[in-house]
Structure 1
Amino acid sequence: MSQAFVALQSFLLKSSGLALDREKQYLAEARLAPLIQQSGLANLGELIARIESDRGLAKKVTEAMTVNETFFFRDRHPFDGFRHAILPDLLKSRGATRRMRIWSAACSTGQEPYSLAMILDEEARRLMGWSVDIVASDISESVLKRAREGHYTHFEVQRGMPTPHLVRYFSKRKDQWSVNESIRARVDFRQQNLMRDFSHLGQFDIIYCRNVLIYFAPEQKRDVLHRLARCLAPDGYLVLGAAESVIGYSTEFKPHPEYRVVLVRHAASAMTPLRSVM
């Protein structure tokens, strides 16, 4: 393992929480090769030396190493849980304020928050008179640009998108499908590194943080989960990816009885019982 790769591991852990295994050296070099060439550098060692004084280049390195795999209604269960368990519970508990806030953390190119926005549109009758905010964030400015534009290839809309949703919420433009303005307007996209303070985003009733923590080192994972809990309402919901768990990293959440990927803040147990959905 080269010294340059060791330095890259240290940089990524500090800048983004990404824990890069030694077996990933070849992958890292392959991902960074275009950036090395564009910057007029000879190798990974020169790139690492340069990012110490070039913040713009350091940001590009972090973005190049970030995993941006996503698709509409990915894994279904987090969205079924939202429609059939989370939303009904919050419609009851937030009846006085008629306000709800959702955060899609590490949203990549926007498929997750747009999927949530489509569900909210389908539930519009139940949400009449309600204010529902969707904040979507990612560390990468380049993927956020794509998310804000809302343009997707035929392959991207085929992955997980039910045909009725495609017909109702998208317009065909040449070789791309574009999210309708009514759906795009529901989502507020912001740049946010989860390793940095995100308390300024405010408190949320639901946080989707899926398929992100699986790449973090244990200490970074504990820290992020602790800060996510601080930004979540006492009876709020945290939704993780199918391969993720808080076991061994946080005691601030408990599993929902019906949806494994849905977690509830422990504070909720002292307030209202969880609603079981059959």
Structure 2
Amino acid sequence: METSEASHQIIADLLAARTGQHLTESRRWRVNSALGGLFREYGISNVDQLVCLLASPRTGPESPDLAQEVVEALLNNETYFFRDKPTFDQLPCEILPELARRRADVKRLSIWSVGCSTGQEVYSLAMLFAEQRERWQGWTIDILGTDVSHRAINAARSGLYSQFEVQRGLPVTQMLRYFDETAGGWQVREDARRLVHFRQHNILGPHPGRQPFDLVLCRNVLLYFERSTRQTAFDRLASALSPHGFLMLGAGETVIGQTERFQPVSARTSFFEPLALQRDRLRQYAG
């Protein structure tokens, strides 16, 4: 194996160890461009030199974690407000009303956005509830956004977006209703921010909340996992989801042939339920 191939494998192993993501051959073409900023910052020009830096001792409390910088540079943080709108539109029209019925006794909804990147999906959810303020009067709504990237989570917590970012997926009416224009960009207003919080977390790690979630959005995250890792991720999602909750995947993702923990929700694209709920329904029907 040539040195450059070995170096690329070291970078791929580092990404897998810290995030579970598999750097396939088809994704390796973007490694050099993704790491270009680090090349310039450290005065190097290729992956071989970067691997040498990773292998050298780095001491002192002020020294940055180069390995984490490499991982974060390789992550795909592509996101925007109300991404995949036809799929997202099922939430206020079908999924949230059903959850309101199922949770009417406690009047509480707990939602988890996995791989939330810089926060647009989480704030989109918050805007859905703000748009239906009367329906959710008296309810406790808690929306958690998590991501493996420390940099992305910090950006999400700031709630500050550029003109380009707020124009991706947001009509002017919502932009003006939920954002204030500042010298640094467009700032999410308090009525949307009060429902959300963020933390750094790996989907392959322990349950990030105290209670089961009623709705979990995990869109375009599992695409980057190998089959065995994807099955582990589904197990984590199943353990974190309420038996009567919903899992929302990306438009091109499915549980079919991937896991036995979930079943598709009839006539609802990209939504899935725990298999235990399906079994309960079959028992009721048989009874």
Same fold (TM over 0.5): yes
Structure 2, unmatched stretches of 5+, are 59-63, 283-287
Instruction: Report what 1:64 is aligned to.
Output: 73
1:164 pairs with 2:167: no
Instruction: Report what 1:218 is aligned to.
Output: 227
Instruction: Report what 2:38 is aligned to.
Output: 35
| Paired residues of 2:113 and 2:217 also in contact (CA < 8 A) | yes
Q: Of 148, 151, 170, which residue of structure 2 is paired with 1:142?
A: 151
CA distances 1:194-233 after superposition (whole Å, capped 9, x unpaired): 2333355541010001011111111111110111001000
Q: Of 214, 237, 255, which residue of structure 2 is paired with 1:205?
A: 214
Aligned residue runs from structure 1 range 53-132, under 5 A: 56-132=65-141
**TM-score normalised by length of structure 2:** 0.88
The higher relative CO (CA closer than 8 Å, separation ≥ 6) is in: 1
CA distances 1:93-144 after superposition (whole Å, capped 9, x unpaired): 1111111100011111111010000011112211111111000011111111
| Paired residues of 2:180 and 2:186 also in contact (CA < 8 A) | yes
Change (3 A) 1:201 1:37: farther
**How far is 1:50 from its partner?**
4.1
SS at structure 1 position matched to 2:272: strand
Percent identity reads 36
Q: For 2:86, give the aligned amino acid.
A: H
Instruction: Quote the Cα distance in structure 2 between the aligned partners of 1:59 and 1:111.
Output: 23
| Paired residues of 1:12 and 1:18 also in contact (CA < 8 A) | yes
| Paired residues of 1:154 and 1:175 also in contact (CA < 8 A) | no
Structure 1, unmatched stretches of 5+, are 274-278
**How far is 1:272 from its partner?**
5.6
Instruction: Report what 2:23 is aligned to.
Output: 20
> What value does the CA root-mean-square deviation take over the aligned residues?
2.1
Name which one, 1 or 2, has greater alpha-carbon Rg: 2
**TM-score normalised by length of structure 1:** 0.90
